[in-house]
Structures are given as structure tokens and as C-alpha cells.
């Protein structure tokens, strides 16, 4: 057990280990990269190494962890956050009001020094309320950051840091401005520009590079229930994220991508609004994937359409299983159409931050997909 178990991004691992070894750890780190690339895993491993009972100075360099001591084991439980989130929500009650959400912030704590903060799914009457980091969670971190650690370092892993309201970020900035010596905050986000510049500039940023498709395919060998062709497809769809590949439900992914592509095709052909709106309504309420990921599917299908419309030969589409359908549509695609469609997707992504309705946003995207 230890950092050697981490796959890919060796240079980031080395940089973190050097900091630990030199006992020169910044108070705020920002891990940037797509979901499933390993940001959360590496942050958790960092917390273990910073607090491991066995591999600690002076006898050890203090830049790795054993995975077996009591501290390592407790922190390791963060690797399965779903159950911890369920537990937190259950303790709060199923339909809390807004005040209760702030009063009982969702904190995942399996060791007193290491907290994981994740976007609060809330689960109020509105089933499509966007999960986000709440003010209550930020305030709890603000208080706890100044407690003396029981082990050596308090580590706060903030997943989905980009979901924090910009107006709430002041509280957070205070921690970053007067950071306690013994605490490190690790912010995780898919893109750096999704965070306030004032927050970004106070963090040491690491950019996680995607893993090679072949490397991911090798990793999937462990999934004996998948045929070789399925492993290959999963590795391609994962777009460089080992976690995305391992967690992929191929049948479900195929269904959803087909549905998005059908909407794209129907919109291009100028089908009736009734048909289009039925599809956007379904997608806006999609539960198997986050809405951000559904938008990601639009981008990936548009990217395929763009290349197939120019240079279909020798192109390996991002959605190889939909190649025939994509080729059928590619003939109608022009560069203007693609740029109009991506513009409207970009706008919708930007509006999600302000919690503007998904349904209306998707309708606007569908409208932009019409071939004029
Ligand atoms: Zn240990």
C-alpha cells in the first residue's frame, strides 16, 4: 500500500511526496482535471501520508503511507463516499428546510483530522436542485481548520469546489488568507476557471493529465465480465479517466448517448417542438448522470460530428459505437452549425452556475441545433 498504488500522473505524485518529505506543505492545493482522473484518490492518499502512524519521521521520510495503521485505515474509508453521504443525509432527515441544510452541514469524517466536503445533494422537494457546496460547510471548515490536529496535519478535501457560490467564497477566502500552519485544504475542480480568481491565485495548482487509452484498457483487464471489445470501448469513452472507465455502465452509457444523439438529429431535421421538448424534459431530469456530464455528452458528440464532416477517414470517433449514426448526420453539418451549437452549450454551462433552469437551457440548445 502507498503512493505506488496510484495510477498515472507520476509527476504530481512526486511533487506531493517532495513537499511532505521536506515538511514544506502549502496550505492550499488545487487539483484540476476531469472526473474520475484520480483527484480525490490522490488527495485522500496525501492525507494518509501526512498522518500515517508508521511511515513517519524521524525513522521514515514521511512521504508515504502504510495503509495498515489505524489512522491510514480510518482515512481510507473516504474512498467510498457514497455510503458516508447517505449516512449524513439520513442523520439530517430526508426533507430538511434550507436552515437545516446550513445548520447540519454535510461533512464526511472518518478520522478527526481529515474531512471530505462534497457538494450537498440536499434532496428537498425539488428533485433537480443542483448539488453544491453550502455556506454551512464552508463555515464548518473555517472553524475546524484552526483546531490542533490529533495526528500531524488537518486535511480538508473539497470535492466539487467549483459548485461553491461565488458570493459565499468570502468565508473561504478568509481561511486562505490566514491559513493555520497545521492544515491543508485541497480543492478539486474540473476546470480552474470555474473558481474565483482570488481563490485560484492562493492555491498551488496541479493539472491532472489524462491517462493513455491503452493504459486504461490494461487497467480494465480486471473486469473479467467485459469482452475485449467492451474494454476497448470503455477505455475510449473514459477520455483519459481511469475512475470513469472503472465506474462505467456500458449499457447505460450507450442508452444515454443514443438519446442525446437522437435529440441532436431530430433538432437538425427540424422535427416538431413537441418531440424535441419531450426529449429535453427527459434529459433535464436524467438521474443516472449529473447534468454536467449530460452536457459533456453533447460536446463529445458534436466533436465527433465536426471531424466526421471534414475528414472521416482514419478518424477514431470518441463514440465509436455510434459511428454509423454519426456518419449519417455528418453530411448535414457545417462549421457554422457546430460553432452555434457549442456556443449555446457554453452558455448553458455558464448559466448552470446561477442555477437557471436546465429545461429551458436545453430547449435553447436544441433550438440552436436546427439546420438553417
Ligand atoms: Zn499508516
Q: What is the largest CA-CA distance in the chain?
A: 72
49 CA distance to ligand 1 middle (Å): 7
**Full pLDDT tens readout for the chain, 372 residues:** 899 989 889 999 999 999 999 999 999 999 999 888 999 999 999 999 999 999 988 889 999 999 999 999 999 999 999 899 989 888 887 666 777 888 889 999 999 999 999 999 876 545 556 788 999 999 999 999 999 999 999 999 999 999 998 888 888 888 888 888 899 999 999 989 889 999 999 999 999 999 888 989 988 888 888 898 899 999 988 888 888 888 888 999 999 999 999 999 999 888 888 888 888 888 888 777 778 788 889 999 999 999 998 887 878 888 989 999 999 999 988 888 888 888 888 888 777 665 567 788 888 888 888 877
> How far apart, in Å, are the Cα atoms of 94 and each of 86, 98, 127, 132, 260?
10, 12, 12, 17, 32
115 CA distance to ligand 1 middle (Å): 17
110 CA distance to ligand 1 middle (Å): 14
The C-alpha cell 448517448 sits at: 257
138 CA distance to ligand 1 middle (Å): 28
2 CA distance to ligand 1 middle (Å): 9
Other CB atoms within 10 Å distance of the CB of residue 184: 22
Q: Give the pLDDT confidence score for residue 96 in this predicted structure.
A: 63
76 CA distance to ligand 1 middle (Å): 10
50 CA distance to ligand 1 middle (Å): 9
> How far apart, in Å, are the Cα atoms of 276 and each of 252, 257, 262, 268, 269?
21, 16, 10, 11, 11
Q: Give the pLDDT confidence score for residue 7 in this predicted structure.
A: 85
Between the two ends of the chain, the Cα-to-Cα distance in Å is 58
153 CA distance to ligand 1 middle (Å): 14
1 CA distance to ligand 1 middle (Å): 9
Q: Which of 74, 50, 70 is nearest to 62 (CA)?
A: 50
Q: How many helices (H) and strands (E) does the chain have?
A: 17, 6
Kindly tell me the burial class for residue 223, based on how many C-beta atoms sit within 10 Å of its own C-beta (0-12, 13-18, 19 or more). Answer: middle
134 CA distance to ligand 1 middle (Å): 32
Q: Give the pLDDT confidence score for residue 221 in this predicted structure.
A: 87
Rounded CA-CA distance 255/65 in Å is 41
Question: Is this prediction's pTM over 0.85?
Answer: no
Rounded CA-CA distance 31/49 in Å is 17
Amino acid at each position: 500500500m502507498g503512493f505506488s498504488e496510484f495510477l498515472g500522473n507520476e509527476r504530481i505524485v512526486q511533487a506531493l511526496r517532495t513537499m511532505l518529505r521536506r515538511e514544506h506543505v502549502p496550505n492550499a492545493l488545487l487539483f484540476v482535471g476531469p472526473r474520475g482522473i484520480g483527484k480525490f484518490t490522490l488527495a485522500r492518499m496525501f492525507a494518509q501520508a501526512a498522518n500515517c502512524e508508521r511511515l513517519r519521521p524521524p525513522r521514515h521520510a514521511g512521504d508515504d503511507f502504510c495503509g495498515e495503521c489505524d489512522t491510514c485505515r480510518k482515512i481510507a474509508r473516504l474512498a467510498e463516499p457514497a455510503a458516508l453521504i447517505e449516512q449524513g443525509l439520513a442523520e439530517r432527515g430526508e426533507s430538511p428546510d434550507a436552515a437545516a441544510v446550513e445548520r447540519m452541514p454535510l461533512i464526511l469524517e472518518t478520522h478527526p483530522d481529515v474531512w471530505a466536503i462534497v457538494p450537498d445533494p440536499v434532496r428537498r422537494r425539488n428533485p433537480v436542485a443542483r448539488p453544491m457546496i453550502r455556506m454551512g460547510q464552508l463555515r464548518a471548515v473555517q472553524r475546524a481548520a484552526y483546531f490542533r490536529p490529533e495526528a500531524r496535519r488537518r486535511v480538508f478535501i473539497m470535492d466539487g469546489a467549483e459548485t461553491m457560490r461565488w458570493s459565499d467564497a468570502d468565508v473561504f477566502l478568509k481561511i486562505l488568507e490566514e491559513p493555520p500552519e497545521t492544515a491543508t485544504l485541497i480543492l478539486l475542480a474540473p476546470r480552474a476557471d470555474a473558481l474565483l480568481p482570488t481563490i485560484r491565485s492562493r492555491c498551488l495548482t496541479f493539472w491532472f493529465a489524462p491517462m493513455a487509452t491503452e493504459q486504461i484498457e490494461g487497467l480494465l483487464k480486471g473486469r473479467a465480465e467485459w469482452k475485449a471489445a467492451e474494454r476497448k470501448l470503455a477505455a475510449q469513452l473514459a477520455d483519459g479517466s481511469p475512475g470513469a472507465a472503472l465506474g462505467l455502465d456500458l449499457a447505460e452509457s450507450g442508452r444515454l448517448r443514443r438519446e442525446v444523439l437522437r435529440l441532436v438529429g431530430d433538432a437538425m431535421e427540424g422535427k416538431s417542438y413537441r418531440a424535441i421538448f419531450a426529449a429535453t424534459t427527459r434529459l433535464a431530469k436524467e438521474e443516472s448522470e449529473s447534468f454536467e456530464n449530460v452536457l459533456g455528452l453533447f460536446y463529445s458528440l458534436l466533436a465527433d460530428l465536426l471531424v466526421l464532416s471534414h475528414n472521416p477517414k482514419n478518424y477514431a470517433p470518441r463514440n465509436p459505437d455510434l459511428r454509423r449514426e454519426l456518419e449519417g448526420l455528418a453530411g448535414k453539418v457545417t462549421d457554422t452549425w457546430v460553432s452555434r451549437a457549442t456556443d449555446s452549450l457554453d452558455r448553458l454551462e455558464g448559466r448552470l452556475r446561477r442555477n437557471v433552469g436546465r429545461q429551458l437551457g436545453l430547449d435553447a440548445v436544441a433550438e440552436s441545433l436546427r439546420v438553417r
